[in-house]
Structure 1
């Protein structure tokens, strides 16, 4: 589990698909690489990955075909910057929200509008996920816990404060860029639990 509070911005220094053409090994420079243990979970742009190798300055993770298909990690190239967060512990202050690191889909930047020091960013996303976006609810974008300030079918907006702009990769977002989206896990479970009852009501009303 993660909190969506980015711990550091790392840099992709190498990629390798030689072992498996359908998978990808990422080598990432990170300030806390020397503290990582093999098998530990790290969020890379919001994707929960397992540390498979370490050096004092770098760590490696493996991306499976499913990860490459669902997330933006398959399109990263050297020397891309990535948002990094180590998993939370029982004594960690939870300043963001519960983040699993399981990406639901990708979104696309529609617009970036500045208002003073703040950036209002609008994203497009597949409408099939519309019920999982709630105004002033939580959403994770490339591993960053943010608040939805406006939502409509197929689009939502967040506001980036200067700290978020300077301490994550979101400060350099541009129109047309793809991002990883993870919706609030609480909303996903509620939807899953209620769907059978909603479907039954619909069938009853038709009859």
Structure 2
């Protein structure tokens, strides 16, 4: 389980196809603190550490994960948001994040406002995911509050700290992002559909 509070950034060092899987090697400032079999969220995707060497560690993504996320677009040199799993007893500064991406979305608008940024994202309606204003959403692993919720799109406001310390600063119109919708909202929506 994660909180959506990004701990650090990592750099994609190597991507190697392994049958239907991808072995992805990341360079990170927290590598020395990791251990084999530990979960780390990469742009919101929970992956298991399978190898460590110096400041590099490797994770493996299976086909289902690759198909549901933006990982197929990753390339060497890309910057990814990293968060280690939360410790029991830690503060939950963001919201409950599982690290299970629901679908991808596209950045459709970026507006700079005096000292902050507004990003708008669209997503496909095919999976029935929803947002609500003032509800939680995870974009590339970052826990955010929905500012403007519309049918199949939403906006979020980014403060300077988040802009500087995540890969939001690299987003452009058309950037594909990983979306994890609020877990409580997903359960409520599913229960409502069954009635």
TM-score band by shorter chain is over 0.9
In 1, Cα distance between the equivalents of 2:126 and 2:60?
29
Deviations 1:18-69 (A, max 9, x none): x31x211000001111111111100000000000001230110001001111
Which residue does 1:202 correspond to in 2? none
Structure 2 residues not aligned, in runs of 5+: none
Structure 1 residues not aligned, in runs of 5+: 198-207
Superposition TM-score, scaled by structure 2 size: 0.97
Higher percent of residues as strand: 2
Which residue does 2:121 correspond to in 1? 123
- Asked if the contact 1:124/1:155 (under 8 Å) is kept, the reply is yes
Count how many residue pairs are aligned between Structure 1 and Structure 2: 195
In 2, Cα distance between the equivalents of 1:196 and 1:179?
29
Q: CA deviation at 1:118?
A: 0.7
Counterparts of 1:1-207 in structure 2, within 5 Å, are 1-17=1-17, 19-20=18-19, 22-128=20-126, 132-197=130-195
Higher percent of residues as helix: 1
Q: If you compute each CA radius of gyration, which structure gives the higher value, 1 or 2? A: 1
Superposition TM-score, scaled by structure 1 size: 0.91
- Asked if the contact 1:165/1:172 (under 8 Å) is kept, the reply is no
